[in-house]
Structure 1
Amino acid sequence: MEVSLNDTVNQSRRTEYQCRSRGLLQERVDMEKVKAVLSTSENGHFSVIKNEAYNGFYACISALRHAFRWGTVPVVKVAQRDKIIQFPPELDLPWGFIRRRYGITSQGGNVMSNLQCNIDNATRRVAYAINGSMPEPIPSAEYYLIYSFTEPERKALPVYYHLVQSIRCYEKGQRQACLAHLQGISIHLKSVFRIYYENVVESKIPRHVFTAYIQGFHGWAAGEFIEDEYVEYDGTSGAHLVLFNVLDYFLGLEPFFDEQDFMRYFSHSQRRFMASVKAHAFRTAAEQANNFGLTEQFEKIAKQLRSWNYALNTVILNPPANGT
């Protein structure tokens, strides 16, 4: 589709899309059946909708809500002026169940819904693509971004294992075993960061493609009134990645989000895990005990994290103009 800078044309395109969306949803969705199934699942009959299926449903409804919220890709200025979105009931009713199921409060999606639940187990296929009919490199760039937010969590499983085991060993006074697990964290973080270094690059995700055709769709910049107070939601952010919040807590660093934002964008199970890591983090205790072996390993992990943050912000997402 040709990009327009005319507000009247853009609003007309948005209205046309939203009208077609309302019509198709009303025609194809049996609201009574949807409500009955979701209510049965919510009331304790979890076998009605398996976890994997609910994750896919989460991704589907989130993608449809983002599409309805913006109405066009690329996102246009006139859409950003809309701060209260009147969703069709077919997208509103399920979202209430989703909010309660996952323990999130945002009206829009997050990294879990829009990216991590939106790719198959073989990390080869995107279920709900934004730009499936667009010419290359747009679809490929979309895939590489989703892959780069999904694969690191798979690679992070050994990191989580060693992190939890290091806490267990420290609390049992097993200092050498604890040291070995801290070393294991450093080793496995390398393969996690490699995903970003190899995929979040200009050659795979060109900046002009990322900004125009991918990034905007995952934003939100709208909200709702809660007890007569307007609350706005930001939409999807790289800061929603669980691994880096866990590492911040484990290293005794201040989190990027405040408690309210964690409630908006992280599921209750993710929040419980992060809270447990925070409660049992022992870097400060190791420093106070002058355990130089452990503190040295903590510093190595922190250095890896600082290096990755620098690369992400200066080289990967903002490469030099000449591409070198």
Structure 2
Amino acid sequence: MLSWMFPSLTAQIPSASAEILDDPLQHQALTYLRDLVIVGGGGSWPPRATYRNSWPLPLRPYDTVYRALEASFPVAESSVDSTHNRKLIDSFRSRMRCHLEQHINLGDVLSALESAESDPKSCSQSAWLGYFLCMSFLRHSYRWGVTPIVSEAQSEQSVDFPEQLELPWKCLQRHFGTTSPSGCMTSLMYANMREDDRLEYTVTIGMPEAHQTTEYWNTKLLVGMEVRVLPVYHFFARSIAFLDAGDMVVACDALKAANEILKTALKFFFTSLVEGNLSRSVWLAYVQGYQGWTLGGIDGISGGQSLTFRTLDAFLGIRPFPEPQKEALHLPDAQRTWLNFLRDYDIRAVAKARGEDAAAVTDELESLVKQLRLWRMGHMRRMQPYESVHRPERKTMTAGISVVEAGDEDKMIEHLKRQLGQRLAETV
């Protein structure tokens, strides 16, 4: 199943991914999980992107353009002067347009992308992911013009993107099955963590160490969670297969193992989300801000795009389910297919229908729900100091829900607490 696209695959990928691909168990749940690894991740999960040298030649100058501009995107001190900020934004965009015109042959780019679409052997999925990453960073930096982001850019109703950023983006949308004009967690975060544990692209180059550490951990935290929960996904798929086969003992054992691994993963989340890794004074301005979008009613990155927590919700039947059109904005096809299978299967309903025969299975499922509830309660407390930092140069905003109609940070936090509180109430 598409493994011919990735020669010597299992010899090159993390063991958890290899175990999924090598699992002899045959069930639709395993099929969708393997597709997540192969199609969604380029051969491993979390995705392992490859960068410039793996791309078709006409695409590589996009990397050149970003490298030429990355040091001029962040500023050390934000201004509240709209006239000054407008000059910064317009100047950055003008420089990017000049670099794009100088380095990019759009006809060659579109021909290369067309070839890559029609002949998968000519461009690996890992290379597609790396190019998706590069284009996302270019589009987000062009959209904002400066970071920390400023209200002058937030107030824009539309932005005319250069065709060198627009036309290839349509190819990327087709390839990954997303519809948003903005980047997503897969393109801006999952694909940005290199195999040698560094970020490929950054928006804090030239900034103090605290800025760079915070940017690193903002990505490391989410990618590290995916690394740790991939075996959980595997046990979820196996528990479904064994439940369908009528083997309640082995299904229960799989869920017990999932519960233990999830404890470790959630502990990693909270022990990593500390001031030494993610500076409160830096995070909102230099990390969260540029990941937003706010144009055309479309939002940018949200923690809700994390596959970890979407998988837990989908597997446990925690509703409401998102509208398919909204989820398609930011989640690639393979992720959505995996999630929709789990939702349609509804393991808690299946176990309940088996009655006493599946009582132990039901108990393990309820333990998973309790863990998720505890995480959401802790997350509500942890996020408040980060989201409540005063940034006078910008309107109150989260990257995932754009500008919030709140006059100050306290009202903003109340808005977020209501949203998170509603999700906590649904986690039953």
Q: TM-score, normalised by structure 1?
A: 0.92
Looking at structure 1, the residues matched to 127 and 273 of structure 2 have their Cα atoms a distance apart, in angstroms, of 29
Equivalence for 1:171:
244
1:34 aligns with 2:109: yes
| Cα displacement (A) at 1:193 | 1.3
Looking at structure 1, the residues matched to 201 and 349 of structure 2 have their Cα atoms a distance apart, in angstroms, of 44
Looking at structure 1, the residues matched to 216 and 321 of structure 2 have their Cα atoms a distance apart, in angstroms, of 26
Equivalence for 1:160:
233
Percentage identity across paired residues of the two chains? 29
CA RMSD of aligned residues (A): 1.5
SS of the residue 1:137 aligns to: helix
SS of the residue 1:220 aligns to: coil
Equivalence for 1:272:
337
| Structure 1 outlier segments of 4+, above 6 Å | none
1:114 aligns with 2:114: no
Looking at structure 2, the residues matched to 196 and 126 of structure 1 have their Cα atoms a distance apart, in angstroms, of 19
Equivalence for 1:83:
157
Equivalence for 1:304:
371
- The range that moved more, 92-101 or 182-191, is 182-191
SS of the residue 2:148 aligns to: coil
1:287 aligns with 2:322: no
Looking at structure 2, the residues matched to 131 and 89 of structure 1 have their Cα atoms a distance apart, in angstroms, of 26
Question: Which one of 326, 349, 355 corresponds to residue 261 of structure 1?
Answer: 326
Q: What amino acid does structure 2 have at the position aligned with 1:310?
A: M
Spell out, residue by residue over 1:161-182, the C-alpha distance to the aligned partner (whole angstroms, 9 max, x if none).
Answer: 1000000000110000010011
Q: What amino acid does structure 2 have at the position aligned with 1:86?
A: D
Equivalence for 1:99:
173
Are the equivalent residues in 2 in contact too, given 1:108–1:235 (CA < 8 A)? yes
| Cα displacement (A) at 1:257 | 3.2
Looking at structure 1, the residues matched to 276 and 326 of structure 2 have their Cα atoms a distance apart, in angstroms, of 33
1:182 aligns with 2:249: no
Looking at structure 2, the residues matched to 220 and 31 of structure 1 have their Cα atoms a distance apart, in angstroms, of 25
| Cα displacement (A) at 1:195 | 2.6
Looking at structure 1, the residues matched to 381 and 153 of structure 2 have their Cα atoms a distance apart, in angstroms, of 30
| Cα displacement (A) at 1:135 | 0.9
Equivalence for 1:74:
148
Q: What amino acid does structure 1 have at the position aligned with 2:313?
A: D
Spell out, residue by residue over 1:187-245, the C-alpha distance to the aligned partner (whole angstroms, 9 max, x if none).
Answer: 1112221231122222211222111111010000002xxxxxxxx21000111111211
Equivalence for 1:229:
none
Equivalence for 1:240:
305
| Cα displacement (A) at 1:26 | 0.8
**Which runs of 5 or more residues in structure 2 are unaligned?**
1-74, 389-428
Q: What amino acid does structure 2 have at the position aligned with 1:238?
A: G
Equivalence for 2:407:
none
Change (3 A) 1:257 1:210: farther
Looking at structure 2, the residues matched to 5 and 39 of structure 1 have their Cα atoms a distance apart, in angstroms, of 44
Equivalence for 1:206:
279
- The range that moved more, 204-213 or 20-29, is 204-213
Change (3 A) 1:261 1:163: same
**Which runs of 5 or more residues in structure 1 are unaligned?**
224-231
Are the equivalent residues in 2 in contact too, given 1:202–1:316 (CA < 8 A)? no
Change (3 A) 1:54 1:255: farther
Looking at structure 1, the residues matched to 378 and 385 of structure 2 have their Cα atoms a distance apart, in angstroms, of 9
SS of the residue 2:295 aligns to: strand
Change (3 A) 1:130 1:49: same
Looking at structure 2, the residues matched to 262 and 268 of structure 1 have their Cα atoms a distance apart, in angstroms, of 10
Aligned length: 310
